[in-house]
């Protein structure tokens, strides 16, 4: 219970509490690694075989236990002759069954690869399921290809999606209150540069950076090759994003705002 406390999780406890938590984490990590190793040996090793008799097969164990195709990242030493390599990282396509056990799929050449293009102002990132467009420093379109539906709708303060800068002047307590009127005190932030960071057969990505005041925000969006039906899993499987924020603003609240529909209702995700 100690390590579930709201000050222990982010590391904001006093030093004595943090030292106790580190010791518990260290012990539990060793126990967990031992249990995982034993479980993997049982799942992977054929009956009556020893490790020395195997040819080091690549078996995938997915804790979610879902039948899916997914791109994973491995060290460059794995399958160097069949992997897509970029800066000492290799990408592999894996297929798992309903039990979460699968293998590395080397026959992905017939599947539609993701693509990424950019001229610095206009960028497009696309795979078999989604097409993302960035134009004029804003995310202007996220199109669901199978459903033929646009997912970014006009909303308060912007007709597109992207970063918004709100004034932060609470009536009572700093860092706690967000008054309702702050929604009317905002302005759009635009990405000042957009570049392709990966363009390979299995994964493509673009990075968009916004610079304002003394702050810098970078959004990296990835698309990957995938054959998993989206309606059976998360609707954005094959899509991922990473934010890198260096915020040095006062009395300001930076958000990513995107107007979409949820169960027929128009909502703002931020």
CA-based torsion, 77, 66, 124, 157: positive or negative = negative
Residue 227 in contact with residue 69, Cβ under 8 Å?
yes
Decide if 252 is inside a domain: yes
Q: Residue 124 has what pLDDT?
A: 94
Q: Are residues 141 and 252 in the same domain?
A: yes
Q: How far is the C-alpha of 207 from the C-alpha of 185, rounded, in Å?
A: 28
What is the pLDDT at residue 230?
40
User: Are residue 191 and residue 263 in the same domain, yes or no?
Assistant: yes
- Three-class SS state of 219: strand
Q: Do 99 and 222 have their domain in common?
A: no
Report whether 260 contacts 152 (CB < 8 A): yes
Q: Are residues 99 and 154 in the same domain?
A: no
- Identify whether 251 is part of a domain: yes
Based on the fold, state whether residues 15 and 124 are members of the same structural domain: no
98 and 6, same structural domain? no
Domain containing residue 183: 115-269
Place of tokens 């995310």: 139
Q: Which residues contact 10 (CB under 8 A, 6 or more apart)?
A: none
In this structure, is residue 245 part of a structural domain?
Answer: yes
Q: What size, in residues, is the chain? A: 270
Residues 130 and 224 in one domain: yes
Q: Are 14 and 101 in a shared domain?
A: no
Return all residues near 197 (Cβ < 8 A) that are at least 6 apart. 116, 205, 206, 207, 220
Confirm whether 50 is domain-assigned: no
Question: Would residue 258 count as lying in a domain?
Answer: yes
Residue 197 shares a structural domain with residue 265: yes
Residues 218 and 250 in one domain: yes
d(CA 254, CA 114): 30
Distance CA 86, CA 171 (A): 50
Same structural domain for residues 129 and 240?
yes
**Is residue 66 within 8 Å of 97, Cβ to Cβ?**
no
Q: Please report, in tens digits, the pLDDT of each residue of the chain (270 residues total).
A: 677 777 777 777 888 888 888 899 899 999 999 998 888 787 766 544 444 444 455 778 887 888 877 787 777 655 555 555 555 677 888 888 888 888 887 667 777 788 999 987 899 999 888 899 999 999 999 998 888 999 888 877 678 888 888 888 877 776 666 777 777 778 889 999 999 988 888 888 999 999 988 899 998 988 887 655 443 344 344 556 777 878 788 888 888 888 877 766 666 666
Whether residues 90 and 123 fall in one domain = no
| pLDDT at 50 (0 to 100) | 47
- What is the edge-to-edge ordering of all strands in the sheet holding 203-212? 193-199, 203-212, 215-224, 239-246
Q: Specify if 22 maps to a domain.
A: yes
Per the domain annotation, does 137 fall within a domain?
A: yes
* Token couple for 214: 């003394």
pLDDT digits (tens, 9 = 90+) for 56-107: 557 788 878 888 777 877 776 555 555 555 556 778 888 888 888 888 876 6
Extract long-range pairs of 1-9: CB within 8 Å, 24+ residues apart.
none
Half-sphere exposure of 110 (CA within 13 A, CB side): 2
At 84 the pLDDT is 53
Dist. CA 12–CA 1, nearest whole Å: 16
Overall domain count for the chain: 3
Residue 240 counted as domain residue: yes
């Amino acid at each position: 219970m100690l390590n579930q406390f709201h000050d222990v999780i982010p590391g904001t406890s006093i030093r004595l509490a943090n030292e106790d938590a580190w010791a518990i984490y260290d012990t539990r990590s060793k126990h967990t690694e031992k249990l995982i190793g034993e479980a993997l040996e049982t799942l992977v090793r054929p009956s009556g075989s020893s490790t020395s008799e195997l040819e080091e097969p690549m078996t995938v164990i997915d804790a979610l236990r879902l039948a899916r195709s997914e791109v994973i990242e491995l060290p460059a030493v794995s399958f160097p002759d069949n992997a897509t390599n970029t800066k000492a990282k290799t990408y592999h396509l894996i297929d798992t069954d309903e039990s979460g056990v699968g293998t590395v799929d080397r026959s992905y050449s017939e599947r539609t690869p993701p693509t990424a293009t950019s001229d610095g102002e206009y960028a497009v990132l696309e795979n078999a399921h989604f097409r993302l467009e960035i134009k004029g420093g804003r995310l202007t379109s996220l199109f669901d290809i199978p459903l033929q539906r646009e997912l970014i709708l006009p909303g308060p303060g912007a007709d597109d999606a992207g970063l918004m800068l709100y004034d932060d002047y609470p009536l009572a307590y700093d860092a706690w209150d967000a008054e309702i009127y702050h929604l009317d005190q905002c302005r759009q932030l635009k990405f000042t540069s957009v570049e392709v960071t990966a363009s390979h057969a299995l994964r493509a990505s673009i990075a968009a950076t916004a610079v304002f005041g003394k702050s810098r925000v970078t959004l990296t969006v990835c698309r990957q090759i995938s054959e998993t039906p989206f309606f059976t899993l998360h609707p954005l499987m094959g899509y991922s994003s990473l934010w890198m924020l260096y915020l040095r603003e006062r009395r300001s609240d930076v958000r990513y705002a995107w107007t979409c529909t949820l169960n027929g209702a128009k909502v703002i995700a931020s």
